[in-house]
Amino acid sequence: MPDLAERATYERALAADVREVFGRFRDRNRFDADRFGREIAAATLPTVKEIRQRALIAMLILIADDDDAIAELLKRNQRSIDAGAAAQAERLGRDMAATSRGWLADSDDFARTLEDRVLAPSRADTVGVTETTAAVSEAEAEGQDILEGIGIDTEPRWITQLDERVCPVCGPMHNRPRSRWGSMGPPPAHPNCRCFLVYAATVATR
């Protein structure tokens, strides 16, 4: 599918979710990493779920083009769709907690590290971009499975944003089919990755 039309809106929404959690931890004398991770997961889950649902619907509309069939596919697979969103939010919370714990353990200045690294606004912005990309990619992977179940195979191609911010890692990947990704998985390839996939559909011959 083309890149998610509301990408910038969702990036900002996720960053705002994270900043809200940051605000609750800024004035504390100690940092509870496990609680921090749980709150990040809880705060970001609704937005992650909305992104994934939106990306999945857009993919199914583009390929299946049958509103009734799409509604039935979504209903049939809603439990696994919800589980995927929860798993992403929980993974984000765990990763942010572990990274934060490590930064603080290695620091000689707890307060400065807490403010300038753990709770930095730029960290929230990075989460917004990276996790939007991850949500779209993972939702589309679910879409591939759903479509395969009704006899439609899909082949993804890697697409960059084709602007000055594209990195040396992703630049050479532009327009490559999956067979030419080498060891790369789907986007995001790195923090702040904005790449996405487009899909070509074929009727399976099984």
Instruction: State the Cα–Cα distance between residues 119 and 22, nearest whole angstrom.
Output: 5
What global pTM score does this model have? 0.91
Instruction: State the pLDDT confidence band at 61, using cuts at 50, 70 and 90.
Output: confident
Per DSSP, the three-state class of 182 is coil
Mean pLDDT for 181-197 is 96
Mean pLDDT for 3-26 is 93
Q: What is the pLDDT of residues 143-185, one digit of tens each?
A: 888 888 888 888 999 999 999 999 999 999 999 999 999 999 9
CA distances from 104 to 24, 41, 123 (A): 17, 20, 15
pLDDT of residue 2: 61
CB under 8 A, 24+ apart: contacts of 150-155? 150/64, 150/69, 150/73, 151/203, 151/204, 151/206, 152/63, 152/64, 152/201, 152/202, 152/203, 152/204, 153/201, 153/202, 153/203, 153/204, 154/63, 154/199, 154/200, 154/201, 154/202, 155/199, 155/200, 155/202
The pLDDT of residue 62 is above 80: no
Question: Which residues sit opposite 156 in a β-bridge?
Answer: 199
The pLDDT of residue 65 is above 60: yes
pLDDT of residue 148: 85
Mean pLDDT for 72-85 is 88
pLDDT of residue 151: 85
Asked if residue 89 lies in contact with residue 48, where contact means CB atoms within 8 angstroms, the answer is yes
Instruction: State the Cα–Cα distance between residues 103 and 124, nearest whole angstrom.
Output: 16
